[in-house]
Amino acid sequence: MSADSTYTLLIVESPVIARIIQRNAPSSVFVISTNGYAWKPVYDAEKHQLKAMADPDQIGFRKELKQQASWAGNIIIATDPDPSGDFIAWSVHKFLKDPSVKRSYIQHLGKRGIQRLISTAEVMKPNLMEQRLKNRSLIRHQWKQSGNRPSMEIAALASVFSDHFPFRNFRDQSGRLWRSNRPIRCNPDEWIPLKDQINESEYHTPEPLSTFDLLQLAVEKDLYSSLENAQETLQQLFTHTLDFNQNSLISYPRTAANSFFSETWSELQNQFYKGQTEHEFKPVFIRNIAGSDVAHESIYPLDLALTPEKVSGELLSTLRDLYKLIHDQTLKAVSVPKETFNAYQSPFHPDINFYCPDSDSDSPSAELMPVRTIAETGSILNSLGVQSPSSFGKGMDRRQDKNYLHIEGRFVTPGKYLTPYLNKGPLYAEEIGKLNSLSESPDLTSETIHATLS
């Protein structure tokens, strides 16, 4: 029996992803979705044990999973390579009790991507995965027990506004956004004076959209009342299918990436030249190409030919506005930049160019203060492991409601209850970074974590 004819059971997290894959997969592949957690993680810190407790509402899924697995000659789990995806994969493996179960990762939803997903699947190593999961739980437990520290989330928030992470966004006295052509390290309270315009211009082109970028754009353009509302609308757009062909409109909407996989760039290029004449598609050397470590690529329309005008008739205004934003920004992100911006330098950073992407001022007469944007805040929190793209909107609104953050347009500043922790921001960032690296250790102990924190 050939590999193509072997009945393959492919297990994913999202029902929408399952539907898209099923449409493009070989007939021998059956896709089933866990719809999130079918088991809930329960960690016992005293015994350093992790258990998977069955969700009573998911009994139907578990019954179908067991039945389909009994028929399959090849079982592949394709959940995200993050802690949530690892736990789902581990709990499914534990439930099936089949040592031949494999793990793979979704990188592209086209036919070639699905074929590669199946061909590169490797037999799972559940013991290593369980160790990583237990380590992460132990680290968080020890952090809570470690004295006068705030929660890891609050510590991570404090580190966002420290100089541990370089700055690339700045605000002048008029509230305009400025950017540097390279990230720079500077004091968060430093005012950077600009010199006269230099004999150069900066090309500026948007990057492919992460969830963080898209939610920031949606809110600063006043499309939605809150980040959570914008993210709920994004999920509705993702699950929407067109009446005339039952196709979905956009790719997976929960991602931290500012890049596309190579196959996606090729697909977008083919679609681009079918409908574009006035712009040039980005050549390979300036493309943001996602590596194999990226779980989900940036958000984009699955078919560029489906312009906002073509699909507007069957979309509610809230969905239509968001789809137009995604479609417009994707076209900009894949096109060769044509617009230039006046470049300025500072006596304190002579090798850095500063430019204003919103309005090309001829006379800056400005001092710039380093700032964090909504998108940048999400990216940093994600890198620290305390914020996933999937709950970003709700998390940011909650932090603002509790006065840990203040959000004004695209800018984020510390709130009243975060201020007492800001002076230790660099220390917190360093500690969380070290602890995250320890999560891969095969023999992590409470003593090792305590030593790191002390």
183 and 73 in a common domain: no
Backbone angles phi and psi of 419, in degrees to 5: -55, -40
Q: Which residues, including other chains, have CB under 8 Å from residue 215's CB and lie 6 or more apart?
A: 227, 230, 231, 234, 374, 375, 378, 392, 393
DSSP state of 238: H
Encoded tokens for 409: 């347009």
296 lies in which domain range? 211-334
Question: What's residue 1's pLDDT?
Answer: 39
DSSP 286: G
- Which of 184-193, 259-268, 274-283, 306-315 is least confident? 274-283
DSSP structural state of residue 51: E
Instruction: Flag the least confident range among 112-121, 240-249, 359-368, 415-424.
Output: 359-368
Residue 305 sits in a domain whose CATH number is 1.10.290.10
Question: Does residue 137 share a domain with residue 25?
Answer: yes
Same domain, 98 and 25: yes
Spell out the residues 6+ positions from residue 139 whose beta carbon is closer than 8 angstroms to its own. 435, 436, 438, 439, 444, 449
Looking only at the bridges linking them, the beta strands covering 340-346 and 102-103 are unpaired
Mean pLDDT of 401-423: 96
Answer for the pair 255, 210: CB distance below 8 angstroms, yes or no: yes
Rounded to two decimals, the pTM is 0.90
Rounded-to-integer distance, Cα 65 and Cα 71, Å: 10
pLDDT higher than threshold 80 for residue 2: no
**Same-domain status, 18 and 139:** yes
Query: Residue 22 contacts by C-beta under 8 Å, 6 or more apart in sequence?
Result: 29, 30, 31
Q: Output the pLDDT for position 152.
A: 95
CA–CA gap between residue 411 and residue 337 (Å, rounded):
25
Q: Are residues 44 and 87 in the same domain?
A: yes
Residue 222 zone, left/alpha/beta (φ > 0; ψ -120 to 50; rest): left
Q: Kindly tell me if the per-residue pLDDT of 362 is higher than 80.
A: no
118 and 48 fall within a common domain: yes
- At position 312, the amino acid (one-letter code) is S
pLDDT for 220 equals 92
**Is residue 282 predicted with pLDDT exceeding 60?**
yes
Rounded to whole angstroms, the Cα distance separating 54 from 71 reads 23
CA 393 to chain centre: 12
Region 293-315: mean pLDDT is 90
For residues 421-428, give the mean pLDDT.
96
- Mean pLDDT (the chain, rounded): 91
Q: Are strands 340-346 and 349-355 parallel, antiparallel or unpaired?
A: antiparallel
Q: Are residues 84 and 46 in the same domain?
A: yes
Question: What mean pLDDT is predicted for residues 35-56?
Answer: 92
Q: Which band of pLDDT confidence, cut at 50, 70 and 90, is reported for residue 277?
A: low
Considering the domain architecture, whether residues 164 and 236 belong to the same structural domain is answered as no
| The three-state (H, E, C) secondary structure of 294-357, written as one string | CCCCCECECCCCCCHHHHHHHCCHHHHHHHHHHHHHHHHHHECCCCEEEEEEECCEEEEEEECC
Percent of the chain with pLDDT over 90: 68
Domain C-terminal end among 334, 367, 392: 334
Last residue of a domain, one of 334, 350, 383: 334
Residues 7 and 140 in one domain: yes
The residue with greater pLDDT, 82 or 320, is 320
Q: How many CB atoms lie within 10 A of CB 293?
A: 7
Please check whether residue 14 is in contact with residue 235, taking contact to mean a CB–CB distance below 8 angstroms.
Answer: no
What percent of the chain clears pLDDT 70, i.e. is strictly above it? 97
User: Among 184-193, 288-297, 401-410, which stretch is predicted with the lowest mean pLDDT?
Assistant: 288-297
Using the 8-state DSSP alphabet, how is residue 98 labeled? Answer: -
Confidence band of 373 (pLDDT split at 50, 70, 90): very high
CATH number of domain containing 34: 3.40.50.140
199/345 same-domain check: yes
Between the alpha carbon of residue 389 and those of residues 81, 82, 229, 234, 289, the distances in Å are 13, 11, 14, 12, 20
- The whole-angstrom separation of Cα 299 and Cα 295 is 12
Is 50 exceeded by the pLDDT of residue 199?
yes
Q: Report the pLDDT value the prediction gives residue 3, as an integer from 0 to 100.
A: 46
The number of beta carbons lying within 10 Å of the beta carbon of residue 315 is 19
Are 18 and 126 in the same domain? yes
Tally of domains within the chain: 3
In the predicted structure, residue 4 carries a pLDDT above the cut 70: no
In this prediction, residue 279 carries a pLDDT of: 84
End-to-end C-alpha distance for the chain, whole angstroms: 59
Give the C-alpha separation, 71 to 11, whole Å: 14
Residue 401's pLDDT is what? 98
Q: Looking at the structure, tell me whether residues 54 and 99 fall in a common domain.
A: yes
pLDDT at 54: 94
Question: 208-235, pLDDT tens digit by residue?
Answer: 999 999 999 999 999 999 999 999 999 9
Give mean pLDDT, residues 425-454.
90
End residue of a domain, out of 301, 334, 367: 334
